Amino acid sequence: MILPIYAFGQPVLKKVAEDITPDYPGLQELIENMWETMHLAEGVGLAAPQIGLPIRLFVVDTHPKEDDKKEKKEEPKQPPIRKIFINARKIEENGKEWTFEEGCLSIPDIRGDVDRPERIHLRYLDENFQQQEEVFDGLNARVIQHEYDHIEGILFTERLKPIKKQLVKRKLDKIRKGEVKVDYKMKFLRK
């Protein structure tokens, strides 16, 4: 089932999300719905707050899409991942900061350069609630850092450089009001 994606302005996107237990109602179905919703919207990651749930759950799929394969790109350091992260906690981030142009399904039509460290070291539970500890780098780290921010109530637009922040202000107001065209289902604060 395709779920509506909560748009910038929705209070749930600014909450620090909470841990869940294995008996969380309908968890398997929720995860399936998140995959379906993310793939349809052509995202590389989706966090539960983006579908209106303030829980520490996100999914990441960094496999290149057909269109991307045509472009020549630098070899990623780690192979692409397709993973579910439950109750994730950041142990540390390290390595050289690098710039990458980010976007977000909750903030359509806005992209911008964000600096983040090269690697992230995480402790999390997989879909079977088994504890995992792993270090991610390259694009995998980048997407995880973005999604991890979501469960901490942080949006990438808060990490843009001050000038760019000014530039996107009006566009953000428009998204908040639902004055934006998107080709996937969204839930705006006022509409």
Task: Compute the least distance from the CB of residue 11 to Zn ion, in Å.
Answer: 16
**How far separated are the first and last CA of the chain, in Å rounded?**
22
The pair of structure tokens assigned to 87 is 């109750």
Nearer to Zn ion among residue 20 and residue 104 (C-beta): 104
Residue 95, classed as helix, strand or coil, is: strand
H or E segment to which residue 70 belongs: helix 66-70
Tell me the C-alpha distance between 115 and 97, whole Å.
6
Tell me the C-alpha distance between 113 and 90, whole Å.
22
Q: Which of 147, 152, 158, 179 is catalytic?
A: 147
Nearer to Zn ion among residue 69 and residue 82 (C-beta): 82
Q: DSSP letter at 86?
A: E
Task: Compute the least distance from the CB of residue 72 to Zn ion, in Å.
Answer: 26
Give the binding site for Zn ion (CB under 5 A): 104
Nearer to Zn ion among residue 41 and residue 86 (C-beta): 41
Catalytic status, residue 147 = yes
Determine how many CB atoms are found less than 10 A away from the CB of residue 176.
Answer: 16
Nearer to Zn ion among residue 65 and residue 69 (C-beta): 65
Task: Compute the least distance from the CB of residue 138 to Zn ion, in Å.
Answer: 18
Residue 136, classed as helix, strand or coil, is: strand
Task: Compute the least distance from the CB of residue 107 to Zn ion, in Å.
Answer: 7
Phi, psi (5° rounding) for residue 69? -65, -30
Query: What are the residue numbers of the active site?
Result: 147
